[in-house]
């Protein structure tokens, strides 16, 4: 049809195929001298490598309500521990320390928070090991997001992110001081 590009160009009424003008696929960059040639070379497909492809990660999706429920439960739990430690340290109503025998705050680890949350969801999980692992993974993902993206939780005593899952579980965490639930 007129006006449609089919890989051929007319040259004074004669049809000239661009197949012979196309460069062969190479590993280096190709240079085009004209716009028409650039369009033609852009349609050439490079051979695909025959290497085994990595397995694509399956995305975990949850509703906002689920995320909010998990994050609020964790933040409330951590704040209650923080408030309990303030009271046990002898802090009075004005926020001043009342005794010299105050002990430093004890922060909980990431793993302890996950275990606490899983205990709270024990009825929902039931006896299913698959559901337990799914909830553990979900809770870890939510905590990771609360630390890295939302900045609701902070790492205590470490300036860098943990390099392995085991180190991550040993990281002490707390609610950011500026977070208001």
The helix-helix angle for 64-88 and 110-120 (nearest 10°) equals: 110
- Strands of the sheet containing 153-156, edge to edge, are 108-109, 172-175, 153-156
DSSP-assigned states of every residue in 123-155? HHHTT-HHHHHHHHHHHHHHHHHHHHTS-SEEE
Which residues 6+ apart lie within 8 Å of 41 measured at CB? 22, 23, 30, 32
3-state secondary structure 56-79: CCCCCCCCHHHHHHHHHHHHHHHH
Each residue's pLDDT tens digit in the chain (181 positions)? 556 555 555 555 555 444 444 445 555 554 444 544 444 444 445 555 555 666 788 888 999 999 999 999 999 999 999 888 777 765 555 555 544 444 556 789 999 999 999 999 999 999 999 999 999 999 999 999 999 999 999 999 876 766 788 888 899 999 999 998 7
Per-residue pLDDT of 78-121, as tens digits, reads: 999 988 877 776 555 555 554 444 455 678 999 999 999 999 99
* Strand-pair partners of 16: 9
DSSP three-state, residue 54: coil
Percent of the chain clearing pLDDT 90 (strictly above):
43
What is the token pair recorded at 74? 């964790």
Determine the Cα–Cα distance for residues 85 and 175; give it in Å rounded to an integer. 14
């Amino acid at each position: 049809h007129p006006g449609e590009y089919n890989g051929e160009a007319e040259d004074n009424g004669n049809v000239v195929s661009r197949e012979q003008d196309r460069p062969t696929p190479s590993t280096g960059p190709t240079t085009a001298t004209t716009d028409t040639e650039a369009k033609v070379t852009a349609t050439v497909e490079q051979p695909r490598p025959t290497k085994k492809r990595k397995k694509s990660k399956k995305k975990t999706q949850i509703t906002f309500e689920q995320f909010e429920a998990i994050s609020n439960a964790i933040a409330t739990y951590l704040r209650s521990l923080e408030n309990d430690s303030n009271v046990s340290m002898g802090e009075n109503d004005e926020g001043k320390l009342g005794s010299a025998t105050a002990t430093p705050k004890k922060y909980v680890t990431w793993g302890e928070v996950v275990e606490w949350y899983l205990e709270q969801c024990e009825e929902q999980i039931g006896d299913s090991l698959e559901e337990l692992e799914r909830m553990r993974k979900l809770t870890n993902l939510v905590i990771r997001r609360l630390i890295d993206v939302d900045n609701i939780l902070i790492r205590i005593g470490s300036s860098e992110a943990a390099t392995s899952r085991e180190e991550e579980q040993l990281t002490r965490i707390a609610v950011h001081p500026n977070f208001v639930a």
